[in-house]
């Protein structure tokens, strides 16, 4: 997002014009920024070794975004059979999709097998059931829990000892017994410790644990280090130094492959890193409400559309794109849901009037994909800015959408 002659633009197109054309609330995505992030991460590692990025589509599943990453050469990281089906509909080949669920039934695993995708198993029970049914006829990946506490928030820290994700690194002897008993082929090892990890050392420590474990699996084709790269949320905020990580982890991975006797593929599953700062959320100010202590800017949206500030305590910069100059005031920005849905307390921005459009930054990842119909509100439309043009890629919901699957019996 750039300010050009007192007018905020995304991909060269006026934000106010976009808001007027498609109305608010509205999600807007910048395809060029997604491409830049993908290239930045891929280049950081491809200098050293063979790298495969699998876009974690749970961050943003619009089929046009999936097709964009497919054209860039990305694979796809999925966590449900529905995401597998979406990926195939978007044009991904089965061998470029990895299915990494947790707490699903063996029946859903079998559906993924029928699709021919890579299977990543994260518990001993399913691993044993899989081995009994498929033996060595279908290779699998094993997700390891390294017992590392990492991530910017407890809700997004998934590699600690109490996490539901992965098979404990201390249970690997049990894994080997299941594999040997059922003559299974393990083609990959995987870990994911959390999101918003700043310290490169956290990645390197986890990598060391995973590579030490990998030495005992003799038929690997790849090692998947998950993701968790931090993106900046505020001006002058810091992010994961992927270039430094690429140098250090790349060197370590090359050394491992030499000892292993085979060149393996280094895999990652970035989601937020690729799409977070490519997304913007536009909302209109319904009311400016002054109380004895606070001035509220009440919007035509709520946590039904953007739940991250309430769920994760995440910070999103908020800009008044209708007023780009003049005096600033302090506002608390809230929604229209009958809950305390606050997007930001005591935010300084150019004076707000009713009817102004506010723009939330970093709204590309886990925003629309976590939206709901709470309070029977319609989910918003989505627009993609691609090569200087704006495209409607999801229509705003209607009353028909709210009642589509209901069955009237009274």
Question: Which residues partner with 188 through β-bridges?
Answer: 141, 222
Q: How many CB atoms lie within 10 A of CB 37?
A: 22
CA distances from 20 to 157, 284, 316 (A): 39, 10, 22
350: tokens are 């150019």
291: tokens are 């109380």
Rounded CA-CA distance 10/375 in Å is 31
CB 335 within 8 A of CB 25: no
Rounded CA-CA distance 48/107 in Å is 40
Question: Which residues partner with 197 through β-bridges?
Answer: 229
Question: Which residues partner with 344 through β-bridges?
Answer: 333
Catalytic residue from among 338, 342, 359, 367: 338
Comparing CA positions, the residue from 326, 376, 370, 374 lying closest to residue 352 is 326
Q: Is 342 a catalytic residue?
A: no
Coil, helix or strand for 338? coil
Phi, psi angles (nearest 5°) of residue 385: -95, 115
CA distances from 37 to 192, 211, 227, 229 (A): 20, 27, 14, 11
Phi, psi angles (nearest 5°) of residue 62: -55, 135
Q: Where are the beta strands (DSSP E) in 66-177?
A: 75-78, 97-99, 118-121, 140-145, 167-168
Rounded CA-CA distance 83/247 in Å is 32
Rounded CA-CA distance 308/252 in Å is 36
Write the DSSP assignment of 32-78 as a string of letters: HHHHHHHHHHHHHHHTTS-EEEEEEGGG---HHHHHHHHHHT-EEEE
Q: How many CB atoms lie within 10 A of CB 389?
A: 11
Which positions are catalytic? Answer: 338
């Amino acid at each position: 997002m750039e300010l050009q002659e007192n007018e905020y633009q995304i991909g060269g197109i006026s934000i106010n014009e976009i808001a007027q054309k498609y109305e608010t609330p509205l999600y807007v995505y910048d395809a060029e920024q997604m491409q830049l992030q993908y290239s930045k991460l891929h280049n950081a590692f491809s200098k050293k070794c063979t790298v495969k990025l699998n876009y974690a589509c749970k961050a943003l599943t619009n089929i046009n975004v999936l097709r964009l990453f497919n054209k860039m050469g990305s694979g796809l990281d999925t966590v449900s059979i529905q995401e597998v089906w979406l990926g195939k509909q978007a044009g991904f080949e089965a061998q470029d999709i990895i299915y990494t669920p947790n707490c699903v039934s063996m029946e859903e695993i079998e559906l993924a097998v029928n699709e021919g995708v890579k299977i990543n198993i994260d518990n001993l029970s399913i691993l044993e059931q899989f081995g009994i049914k498929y033996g060595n006829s279908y290779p699998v990946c094993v997700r390891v829990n390294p017992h590392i506490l990492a991530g910017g928030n407890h809700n997004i820290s998934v590699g600690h000892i109490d996490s539901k994700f992965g098979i404990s690194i201390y249970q690997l002897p049990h894994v080997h017994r299941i594999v040997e008993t059922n003559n299974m082929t393990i083609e990959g090892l995987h870990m994911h410790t959390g999101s918003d990890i700043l310290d490169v050392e956290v990645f390197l420590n986890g990598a060391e644990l995973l590579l030490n474990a990998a030495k005992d699996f003799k038929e690997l084709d790849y090692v998947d280090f998950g993701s968790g790269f931090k993106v900046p949320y505020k001006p002058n905020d810091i992010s994961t130094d992927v270039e430094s990580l690429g140098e250090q982890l790349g060197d370590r991975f090359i050394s491992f492959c030499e000892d292993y006797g085979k060149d393996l593929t280094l895999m990652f599953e970035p989601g937020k890193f690729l799409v977070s700062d490519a997304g913007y959320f536009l909302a209109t100010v319904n009311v400016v409400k002054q109380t004895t202590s606070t001035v509220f800017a009440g919007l035509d949206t709520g946590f039904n559309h953007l739940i991250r500030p309430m769920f994760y305590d995440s910070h999103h910069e908020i800009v008044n794109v209708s007023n780009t100059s003049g005096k600033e005031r302090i506002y608390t920005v809230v929604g229209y849901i009958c809950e305390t849905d606050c997007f930001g307390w005591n935010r300084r921005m150019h004076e707000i009037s009713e009817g102004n459009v506010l723009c939330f930054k970093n709204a590309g990842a886990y925003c629309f994909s976590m939206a709901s119909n709470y309070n029977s509100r319609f989910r918003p439309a989505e627009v993609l800015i691609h090569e200087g043009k704006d495209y409607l890629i999801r229509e705003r919901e209607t009353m028909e959408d709210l009642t589509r699957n209901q069955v009237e019996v009274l």
